[in-house]
Structure 1
Amino acid sequence: MSPFLTLLLSPVTLVAILLALTATLGILLITRSSSRRIADRLTELSPNVAGVSALSVGRRRFGALGQKLAATPLIGSNELVKVVAALADAGIRGQDKLGLFIATKTTLALGASVGCWLALQQLGMMPDGFGMQAVVEIGSALLGWRLPDVVVSRLAVRRRDMLRSGIADVLDLLVICVETGLGLEQALDRVSRDIAVANPVIAEELAKTVAEIRVLPQMRDAFDNFAKRSRLPAIKSVMTTLIQTIQYGTPLAQSLRVLSGDMRAHRMLEIEERAARLPVLLTIPLIMFILPCLFIVLGGPAVLQVMTSFKG
């Protein structure tokens, strides 16, 4: 039997499949919305959906395990603060999501360590000496531990891009709503519902801001919270302008129109900057792939003639 088939039929394959399923299930459970949690509560009351309720119970137990691990010194307070901040940047909030994330990281760390050990033993590549084996196991465990962080960081980057691209559209819609006679709170509520299909990320943030406006004593506190959650200079400047507009009583429609024009100009500058970087980025593939082929086509016949003349 070939080494490839031996590896394919070994326990390493089972461990790799379990790791992939654990990572996929963990990310899906973490990114579930609150509406799904309500649906799970309703399905638990129905006797015909035992499988779904069992999945919900398993998710809660998995998250409870992660919360217990987060409370131990194994995670550490500094690491826990970083994890909470990273999840918030990705739009994943809630104590249950933190528990699911910690449980997923721990499971992947242990699974990666065991899978690496089995793979190296199966292939006969396990290094000699306890020290090298410990380094390999610790490295594989750290890789599995940090893999969910990479996924969450990519989700955070995608979320920030959606916020950055959607704020200009929000300002345009706010101008229309304000000019028709709506107040700022009603305009934000209407825009959050209208833009939900095109940009659900910024619609969620706007809905949360509207809820905070209705609860907090001052409207500026809700705008400050929006700016802190987004961590984007563009949104921070927009929120600062709205606070100043409310404070000094300047015309809201005029301020929103000026903000919209500035945001469009800023987006155009970003597009021009990316276009200006394109020739520099194309230099590397040009040197690596196109120029060698060009040299072969142009210099190949001459090299062949020289080789033929030397043979003759």
Structure 2
Amino acid sequence: MINQPTGPTLLGFDVVLVGTLLAGLAAFAVMLAIYAAVTIRDPMAKRVKALEARREQLKAGIVTSASKKRTSLVRRTDTTDRVKDSLGRLNVLQESQIKVIQQKMAHAGYRNKELAVLIIGARAILPVVVGIILGLLIYWIDFWPDWGPIKRLAVFGGAVFLSYKGPEIYLKNKASKRTKEIQKGLPDALDLLVICAEAGLTVDAAFNRVAKELGRAYPELGDEFALTAIELSFLNERKMAFNNFAYRVNLEAVKGVVTTMIQTERYGTPLASALRVLSAEFRNERMMRAEEKAARLPAIMTVPLIVFILPTLFVVILGPAACSISDNLIK
């Protein structure tokens, strides 16, 4: 019987077969990337459509002050109502606590304020559930018999603490990322507002135009500008729309813009000149932050330089000399 010749192998695997599979995966990834680039969608389209529908409803007078209509406006659900009733019976739900969580959710980009009750309920329930499960696994079933008492206590306490702080940490991280994205696009948005104001557009039309122009580059900022433009069009007090903008974004620069807009609305001062000054200040702040990061770079690179680069450099430079010295000593 003649043995068929086999291809080269590496660690028991056929190199040709593995290479073929990797080439196929690479081709599939390239096709997927091309498809994603060609069929890119506007991230603002769905949100703007929903906001436009809400504005049309409010203009038409569909949303009234009746209790049933008001319930649909705040988007309350049976789940949130049950959680709220349960937490109220346990006396762990406070109005001030709800307001704090609602503002954190607004900073993270969540519009439904009723979800704050679920966040508070998760903070109350998760530590108990995680504590019971870990208590059974660690102390009752003894799933990890090699662990000592200190390690068991540390794992148990750390897991319970993380389960309690987990929802809040998640909101904080998402709000921080969203705030940074808004901060990046704010100077460009102010420049566009200046152009719109000098072109003779009203404030709500200028906000709407900026939202359309910046929707692709900065979706978060475009979303906030679109929502502010819609609130400016139907709220009785325009000051309330600007204050809502500052409430939803945890950024001092946005508060400065809101203060400027309110003052121009009240005293009739030129909007374009005030926004131009603010835009220049924000650009200077962005340049200062970039220079600060560049100044911190040498100190940050010290540890990787010592740990990874210098040993390799020593081996490359001193290695041949050490080999020659060892050869001479052996001779």
Scaled to the shorter chain, the TM-score interval is 0.5 to 0.7
Question: Which residue does 1:116 correspond to in 2?
Answer: 134
**2:110 aligned with 1:92, yes or no?**
yes
- CA–CA distance in structure 1, aligned partners of residues 303 and 271 of structure 2: 49
Aligned pair 1:151/2:170, yes or no?
yes
Query: Secondary structure, in 3 states, of the residue corresponding to 2:174?
Result: helix
Q: How much does 1:302 deviate? A: 5.7
Gap change, CA 1:135 and 1:75, over 3 Å in 2: farther
Task: Assess if the C-alpha contact under 8 Å between 2:194 and 2:272 holds in 1.
Answer: yes
Is 1:162–1:199's contact at 8 Å kept on the other side of the alignment?
Answer: yes
Tell me the alpha carbon deviations over residues 204-259 of structure 1, each in whole angstroms, 9 at most, x when there is no partner: 32233334434555434433342343232222222222333333433323333333
- 1-structure distance, mates of 2:79, 2:330: 74
Q: Please say which of residues 276-285 and 289-298 is displaced more in the overlay.
A: 289-298
Deviation of the 1:73 alpha carbon: 3.1
With over 3 angstroms needed to count, the CA separation of the structure-2 counterparts of 1:83 and 1:225, relative to structure 1, is: closer
Q: Is 2:194 aligned against 1:175?
A: yes
Amino acid at match of 2:110: I
Structure-2 separation of matches of 1:216 and 1:210: 10
Q: Distance in 1 between matches of 2:92 and 2:262?
A: 43
Structure 1 residues 27-106: aligned runs within 5 Å: 60=77, 62-71=79-88, 72-74=90-92, 80=98, 82-106=100-124
Deviates more, 1:95-104 or 1:296-305: 296-305
Q: Which residue of the other structure, out of 226, 230, 242, is the alignment partner of 1:207?
A: 226
Q: Which moved more, 1:144-153 or 1:59-68?
A: 59-68
Q: 1:238 to 1:293 in 2, by over 3 A?
A: same
Task: State the Cα deviation string for residues 174-211 of structure 1 (Å, max 9, x = none).
Answer: 12322322111221133234433332322232233334
- Which amino acid in 1 is paired with 2:84? Q
TM-score for both structures, normalised by structure 1: 0.66
Change (3 A) 1:221 1:83: closer
Q: Is the 8 A contact 1:67 1:99 kept in 2?
A: yes
Cα deviation, residue 160, structure 1: 0.7
Distance 1:75 1:183, change over 3 A: closer
For the 8 Å contact 1:109–1:141, the answer to whether it is kept is yes
Q: Percent identity?
A: 34
Q: Considering only aligned residues, what root-mean-square deviation do their CA atoms show, in Å?
A: 3.7
- Single out whichever of 141-150 and 193-202 deviates more from structure 2: 193-202
CA contact (8 A) 1:69 1:102 kept: no
CA pair 143-76 structure 1, distance change in 2 beyond 3 A: farther
Match of 2:216 among 194, 197, 206: 197
Please tell me whether the aligned partners of residues 182 and 220 of structure 2 are also in contact (alpha carbons under 8 angstroms).
Answer: yes
Q: Deviations over 1:87-128 (max 9, x none)?
A: 232122434311332344455434432443355322214656
Structure 1: how far apart are the matches of 2:302 and 2:96?
Answer: 42
Q: Residue type of the partner of 2:184?
A: S
Alignment partners' CA distance in 2, 1:264 and 1:77: 39
Matched, 1:291 2:302: no
Which residue of structure 2 lines up, in the alignment, with residue 264 of structure 1? 283
Q: Which moved more, 1:202-211 or 1:78-87?
A: 78-87
Asked if the contact 2:185/2:218 (under 8 Å) is kept, the reply is: yes
1:65–1:103 CA contact under 8 A, matched in 2:
no
Q: TM-score, normalised by structure 2?
A: 0.63
Which consecutive unaligned segments of at least 5 residues does structure 2 have?
1-46, 54-75
Aligned residues of 1:69 and 1:75 also touching (Cα < 8 A): no
Give the aligned partner of residue 18 of structure 1.
Answer: none
Question: How far apart are 1:164 and its partner, in Å?
Answer: 0.8
Check 1:134–1:262 CA distance in 2 against 1; reply closer, same or farther (3 A cut).
closer
- Choose which of 252, 257, 271 in structure 2 pairs with 1:238: 257
Could you tell me how far apart the structure 2 residues matched to 1:250 and 1:77 are? 39
- Cα distance between partner residues in 1 of 2:182 and 2:137: 43
Higher relative contact order (CA 8 A, sep 6+): 2
Provide closer, same or farther for how the CA distance between residues 243 and 75 of structure 1 changes in structure 2, counting only shifts above 3 A.
closer
Show the counterpart of 1:161.
Answer: 180
Residues matched between the structures, number: 257
Secondary structure of the 1:122 match is: coil
Larger gyration radius, structure 1 or structure 2: 2
Aligned partners of 2:106 and 2:249 also within 8 Å:
no
**Structure 1 gaps, min length 5:** 1-32, 39-58
Pick closer, same or farther for the CA change 1:266–1:291 going to 2, 3 Å. same
- 3-state SS of 1:123 partner: coil
